[in-house]
Chain A
Amino acid sequence: MDTKILIGVEQLYRYYGHYLAVDGIGFELAQGEVLGFLGPNGAGKSTTMQMITGNLAPSAGRIAIKGIDLLDRPRQAKAEIGYLPEHPPLYPDLTVDEYLSYCARLHRVSPAKRGQAVARALQRCGLGAVGKRLIGNLSKGFQQRVGIAQAILHNPAVVILDEPTVGLDPNQIREIRALIRELGETHGIILSTHILPEVQATCSRVQIIHRGRLVFSESMETLRQRFIGKALTVETARPLDIAVLQQIDGVTAAELLGANRARLHFDAANPADRVAACVASQAWGLVELALDRQTLEQVFVELTCSEETGPTVEAA
């Protein structure tokens, strides 16, 4: 069975005056995917998201939501999208209940289902206790959750979240990530964030945008296989000897990160048990032995910092 394509973006361009903010981006989002959008500030993430949600018109290119062209039939296409912008579009003078029921009306949720839709969104985002309170009086975290509730209220096929966990406390972040994963099973989700562990925790695919171009697009699975787990970090209580570690079967290279800390690279099977045995036999006192999880960050840094003198982003 082919997975259903929810978003198809082709050759998307966007100029601000002469400044080219989005330069020929194209990708697809299938049902059940959580797509992580990464990129430095000003890379064009938000602009891309605004174009997909119809807030901005692209200078050129095609956007289809569930096969419906966004520019030709915006109303039908927009009905399939839930969008949380960078700044949640909240009216501080309304209560949470009033606001969500207004949103439900805007999204043409039928009157019979409206109450149920609002109740479910409230419950999913953990807002049950604040339904009667004014949005303006809520804390930043709760406001952010109201924003998310607004985006998932009408049960759209695609949910687009621009930095959804900003301003939340660690517990709330966990809850929201769990919510995103849960939504990701039945919907298509695009998530933009600066927090790399968040992408690793929630996304099934990663795209990195740099200077308006798509420079990286891999599924999390490929990323894991290709990059993650090719290095081990070992830390011991007493100083270790790098030469001994290099001799371990399967270790291709070793670098010392401090007197008691080393990184071991390997190609094929994970040599963690042999490393542990070696450390034990040398009586260095094993403190930590971990797979290197920093690699998405390395990919990110590599792709977005290397070409400082890239092609100029000027209009023809």
Chain B
Amino acid sequence: MLFTIASRELRNLFLSPLAWAIMAVLQLILAYLFLTQVDTYMTLQPRLAGVEGAPGVTDIVVAPLLQTVGFLFMLIAPAITMRVFSDEKRNRTLSLLLSAPVSMSDIVLGKFLGVTLFFLLLLIMLAAMPLSLYAGTSLDSGKLAAGLLGLALLLSSFAAIGVFMSSLTEQPVVAAISTFGLLLLLWIIDWSGNSKEQVASLFAYLSLQTHLTSFLKGLFSTTDVAYYLLLTTLFLVLGIRRLDQQRLTG
């Protein structure tokens, strides 16, 4: 049942031009960044050749690129997730799901899965760029894999947050803006130069970005994995609760 809803959600995305437009724009921007990054590497390469333990092509080209992918997804994720529930509420189609023999968690998880699959599809397309470097050079596969895994986790938390926000309102735009607001807040939360050590480390822990950075360094730490999984689970549970509670309040 989960997969029925997920596949419907995924296909729905491709029925509107929005998904295609986002794919095209994202691909274009990242291709440009990728080429600039490769260009930078080409100019740096002769100087780096002599240095012991110098950063390789993975550090100079791939890591910044993936960092940008994460940032760009923060901008586009709200546009994808905004319709998930608010559209259904607005068009009063939610009752189809509510009167079908499916549980609330199936509905929320199905929607989440559909959106996440779309994000992963985008990620795979974007990963083709750094992977193309294999044609001419060798990459640090471990670092690349860690980076992609980190991004996949980041995107699933984006999807969970977006799905929850969409369940709060009938207005897709409101859902998009509040999703974006929350994502941005979680992205920059560690920027505050708080002098207190403990507060600063708490904010750093809460930040979406710091955890991604460690993945991009090739660091696979359970703390980071747990952070994204907790965040995703939290918002999925909130989404299920929200849908349940709506049956009570009407």
Q: Is the CB of B94 within 8 A of A89?
A: yes
Given contacts A55-B98, A55-B247, A89 and B93 within 8 Å (CB-CB) = yes
Distance from B151 Cβ to chain A, minimum over Cβ atoms (Å): 30
Kindly list chain A residues whose C-beta atoms are within 8 Å of the C-beta of B102.
Answer: 75, 106
Which residues of B pack against A, CB within 8 Å? Answer: 1, 4-5, 8, 12, 15-16, 91-103, 247-248, 250
Distance from A54 Cβ to chain B, minimum over Cβ atoms (Å): 6
New A-B pairs, 4, CB < 8 Å, besides A81-B99, A89-B93 = A55-B95, A56-B247, A106-B102, A108-B101
Q: A110 contacts the other chain (Cβ, under 8 Å)?
A: no
Give the residues from 17 to 60 in chain A that come closer than 8 angstroms, CB to CB, to chain B: 50, 53-57
Q: Is the CB of A75 within 8 A of B96?
A: no
Which single residue of chain B is at the shortest CB-CB distance from A87? B92
Which residues of A pack against B, CB within 8 Å? Answer: 16, 50, 53-57, 74-76, 78-79, 81, 83, 85, 87, 89-94, 102-103, 105-108, 150
Distance from B21 Cβ to chain A, minimum over Cβ atoms (Å): 16
Kindly list chain A residues whose C-beta atoms are within 8 Å of the C-beta of B99.
Answer: 53-55, 78, 81, 83, 85
Q: Is the CB of B101 within 8 A of A107?
A: yes
Q: Is the CB of B16 within 8 A of A89?
A: no
A interface majority secondary structure: loop
Kindly list chain B residues whose C-beta atoms are within 8 Å of the C-beta of A106.
Answer: 1, 4-5, 96-97, 100-102
A302 CA to B94 CA, complexed, in Å: 37
B interface majority secondary structure: helix
Q: Is the CB of B15 within 8 A of A89?
A: no
Q: Is the CB of A105 within 8 A of B4?
A: yes
A102 CA to B10 CA, complexed, in Å: 13
The contact of B101 among A50, A75, A87, A93, by CB within 8 Å, is A75
Distance from A124 Cβ to chain B, minimum over Cβ atoms (Å): 19
Q: Is the CB of B250 within 8 A of A56?
A: yes
Kindly list chain A residues whose C-beta atoms are within 8 Å of the C-beta of B247.
Answer: 54-57
Kindly list chain A residues whose C-beta atoms are within 8 Å of the C-beta of B12.
Answer: 91, 93
Kindly list chain B residues whose C-beta atoms are within 8 Å of the C-beta of A94.
Answer: 15
Q: Is the CB of B93 within 8 A of A91?
A: yes
Distance from B83 Cβ to chain A, minimum over Cβ atoms (Å): 11
Q: Which 6 A-B pairs have the closest CB atoms?
A: A89-B96, A106-B100, A89-B93, A79-B101, A78-B101, A87-B92
Distance from A245 Cβ to chain B, minimum over Cβ atoms (Å): 54
Distance from B176 Cβ to chain A, minimum over Cβ atoms (Å): 19
Which single residue of chain B is at the shortest CB-CB distance from A75? B101
Q: Is the CB of B250 within 8 A of A16?
A: yes
15 contacts between A and B (CB under 8 A): A55-B95, A57-B247, A57-B248, A75-B102, A78-B99, A81-B99, A83-B99, A87-B92, A89-B93, A93-B15, A94-B15, A103-B100, A106-B5, A106-B102, A107-B100
Distance from A159 Cβ to chain B, minimum over Cβ atoms (Å): 12
Q: Is the CB of B95 within 8 A of A83?
A: yes
Kindly list chain A residues whose C-beta atoms are within 8 Å of the C-beta of B94.
Answer: 89
A53 CA to B12 CA, complexed, in Å: 26
The contact of A108 among B1, B8, B96, B98, by CB within 8 Å, is B1
A286 CA to B98 CA, complexed, in Å: 57
Given contacts A57-B247, A102-B4, A102-B8, A75 and B95 within 8 Å (CB-CB) = no
Which single residue of chain B is at the shortest CB-CB distance from A82? B99
Kindly list chain B residues whose C-beta atoms are within 8 Å of the C-beta of A57.
Answer: 247-248
A126 CA to B102 CA, complexed, in Å: 28
Q: Is the CB of A85 within 8 A of B250?
A: no
Kindly list chain B residues whose C-beta atoms are within 8 Å of the C-beta of A107.
Answer: 100-101
Distance from A156 Cβ to chain B, minimum over Cβ atoms (Å): 10
Kindly list chain B residues whose C-beta atoms are within 8 Å of the C-beta of A102.
Answer: 4, 8
Which single residue of chain B is at the shortest CB-CB distance from A76? B101
The contact of A75 among B16, B98, B103, B250, by CB within 8 Å, is B103
